[in-house]
Amino acid sequence: MSTDKTVAKNLINTLEDGTKGFADAADKLSDLGRPDLAAQFRRFAEQRAGFSIDLENLAAIYGDDIDEDGTLLGAAHRGWMTLKDALAGSDPDGVLSAAEQGESYAIAQYERALQEEISDGLRRMLEGQFAHVRAAHSAVHALKTMV
């Protein structure tokens, strides 16, 4: 079960980073006059928060104490997103590109987690969440082509 704990903790951090990243992107898109995109990003942020809670509940069963600050790589992504906005003149395309990069990172983390030897219950939970993460990545990519 220690592998389950480690996998859950790593993904919780990734999800918390995604929650923060999507919420920040939603605020930025709202400021840029794109409430349509902002609403979608708020839904993604809520989805990530829900996934994180589900994994935190599972981790609590294993007696794990989860760090609420997110990962160093996640913090680097948030920093990159801020820099990307500045370089892109704070346009919606720059925000969407940063979000797509963040979702690519989340996909890689789920793929890595699903390669681990984990319990069937955790695997089923992650496979369900992963399907939504891939769908969000596809949606962000599609939005980029429309902006």
pLDDT at 98: 86
C-alpha to C-alpha distance for 71 and 67, rounded to whole angstroms: 9
pLDDT of residue 146: 86
How far from each other are the two terminal CA atoms of the chain, in whole angstroms? Answer: 45
Summarize the confidence of residues 105-126 as an average pLDDT: 93
Q: What is the pLDDT of residue 10?
A: 86
Report the CATH superfamily, name and number, of domain 2-62+70-146. Ferritin, core subunit, four-helix bundle (1.20.1260.10)
Residue 68 and residue 13 in contact, taking contact as beta carbons nearer than 8 Å: no
Query: Per-domain residue ranges for the chain?
Result: 2-62+70-146
**How high is the pLDDT of residue 83?**
46
Mean pLDDT of the region 57-85: 61
Q: What is the mean pLDDT of residues 98-110?
A: 91
